[in-house]
With several copies, the nearest count.
Chain A
Amino acid sequence: MIHFDNVTKVYANQNRPALDHVSVDVDKGEFVFLVGPSGSGKSTFLRLILKEEKPNSGAIHVAGKDLARLSNFKVPHLRRRIGCVFQDFRLLPNKNVYENVAFALEVIGKPRRFIRKVVPEVIELVGLEGKAHRMPDELSGGEQQRVAMARAFVNRPMILLADEPTGNIDPATSIGIMKVLDRINRTGTTVVMATHDAAIVDSMRKRVVELEDGKIVRDQSRGVYGQAY
């Protein structure tokens, strides 16, 4: 599903690469934890999958498509098949919770009837029932994160990328979120999740890829968070 082949990414005006000759294969239906210290390149890895950034060298294939050869015109179609929870949420500040979630469906032209049915279900799934008409700045940090979560998987994407989806959520809610992610994963969706939450990684026992200074230092199939803790 996701193939990184010797990928190097150096941001403009930086000398140290954010990703350094990284090669990974993620198969369809896998659940992968991306761990590593702050600044090790986890978010960069996810951004490359979305073609939000372009690699300096190496090839990336997502869903069978070579991203380097994908025309700008086709990029939106790729992104519609990938759900993404961003580290900084990226909610539309002028739309309420319902509209933010519905937006991901409206963009891809789903009929209104379908939207009306699915969106409330997903909002309930992340535990925000009754807050559908709040604006993002009327929500707590964790609530915003859950809206981002809902938006990412409302259109049942093939791949779900999650950048620290539990960073601002209390452990109890986190477990709820992880259960949802697990359920989504079981329906066949590939999940890649960057996280610092040792407890979650340890309890899930899924594949763990560890980055350090842009290099892969560990790739374990049923791993734990790591030694540091």
Chain B
Amino acid sequence: MRANFILSEVWIGLRRNLTMTIAVIVTVAVAMALLGVGLMINAQVGLMKTFWSDKVEVSVYLCKKDSPFPTCKATPKGVSAAERGQLQQQLGALPQVAQVLFEDQAMAFENFKKTQSANSILAQVVEAKDLPESLRVKLKDPEQYQAVIDAAKGMKGVSTVIDQRAQLENFFGMLEKLRYAALAVALILVLAAILLIGNTVRLSAFNRRRETGIMRLVGASNLYIQLPFVMEGMIAGLIGGVVAAIMLIVAKVFLFEGTTSAFAVNSQLGWDSVAEVITLTMVIGVVICVLASFVTLRRYLRV
């Protein structure tokens, strides 16, 4: 059993079954590229979530003078510096809270102007003294905002509590849907790919059943008969994986960089995660091909 004879058999097989080989390559490439995009969307959504979650804080607005909020009835003159310090301490003592910062009217106005830039008229009508002061509460775990909100709401001098997360929830809901849809499509495609590749290998074995039958009768061993098929599958899988990798890199450059910059998010998917995804899809592609070959051949190439 000389290696170069086997290799030449593999080469002949690949060339003769060129359409087969192309079919496997196309199937692997398409399925793996879409699986890769799915995984990348998944990673991107994860990144965006943590990016935003990190930024998100609970805003505890303090009562101004003559504030119409019912909770401000107790402090008609607004919150004094001492009261504010007390609040700050109380909030900081909560187990979920990481940090409490004070935002005075000037800072609030700055932030307001930044976020309202698109609507320049408002920036003209609102003045710093119109805006309420607030305490910005950073959480240890962004998911545990409810307890903090509940606690803060009962405190004296607090007009209202706003969790920015609520405003992002819709957006996140959509992202989650996108993530699941992408993964579902990718999964269906991988299943389809397994089916198609298994089928292709089976056809290939079926086409050559006469040949393999002759090989057996001439005394070729099982390994010898199966090896070319499995190696053909592996090579086709590898080529398909490379094509998929190219498609993924293109997707990364044109799709992801474009979209995320449109979202004004600097939580770009790094090249390292892309490399990870490519490696993963490549391995999956080759493993699928080899497994499909083996399982199929078990049935077709009995002694």
Chain A residues with a Cβ under 8 A of chain B: 50, 52, 72-73, 75-82, 84, 86, 90-94, 103-104, 106-109, 112, 151
Q: Indicate whether A76 sits within 8 Å of B210 (C-beta atoms), given known contacts A94-B16, A106-B2, A107-B215.
A: no
B5: min CB distance to chain A, Å? 5
Tell me if B219 and A77 are in contact (CB < 8 A).
yes
| B217 contact set on A, CB distance < 8 A | 50, 52, 79, 84, 86, 90
Q: Which of B212-251 contact A (CB under 8 A)?
A: 213-222, 224
Give min CB distance, A181 to chain B, whole Å.
Answer: 19
Q: Is the CB of A103 within 8 A of B218?
A: yes
Of all chain A residues, the one with the shortest Cβ separation from B211 is: A92
List residues of chain B with CB within 8 A of the CB of A94.
12, 16, 211
Q: In the complex, A75→B301 CA distance in Å?
A: 14
B residues at A contact (CB < 8 Å)? 1-2, 5, 12, 16, 210-211, 213-222, 224, 303
Which A residues touch B5, using CB under 8 A? 106
* With A106-B5, A107-B224 as contacts: A76 and B213 at CB distance below 8 Å: no
- The interface residues of chain B lying within 8 Å CB-to-CB of A82 are 219
Contact of B1 among A52, A72, A86, A109 (CB under 8 A): A109
CB distance from B237 to the nearest CB of A (A): 24
In-complex Cβ contact of A75 among B12, B215, B224, B303 (8 A): B303
CA distance A72 to B301 in the complex (A): 12
Complex interface: chain A residues within 8 A of B12 (CB): 94
Q: Which residues of A contact B219 (CB under 8 A)?
A: 76-82, 104, 107-108
Note all chain A residues with C-beta closer than 8 A to B224.
107
Check if B218 sits within 8 Å of A79, measured CB to CB.
Answer: yes
A47 nearest CB neighbor, chain B only: B217
Min distance, Cβ B88 to any Cβ of chain A, angstroms? 79
Kindly list chain B residues whose C-beta atoms are within 8 Å of the C-beta of A93. Answer: 210-211
Closest CB-CB distance, A43 to chain B, in whole Å? 13
Q: Give complex CA distance A82, B219 in Å.
A: 9
A-B contact pairs, 10 of them (CB 8 A): A75-B303, A76-B219, A76-B221, A80-B218, A90-B217, A93-B210, A103-B218, A104-B219, A107-B224, A109-B2
The CA-CA distance from A138 to B211 in the complex, in Å, is 18
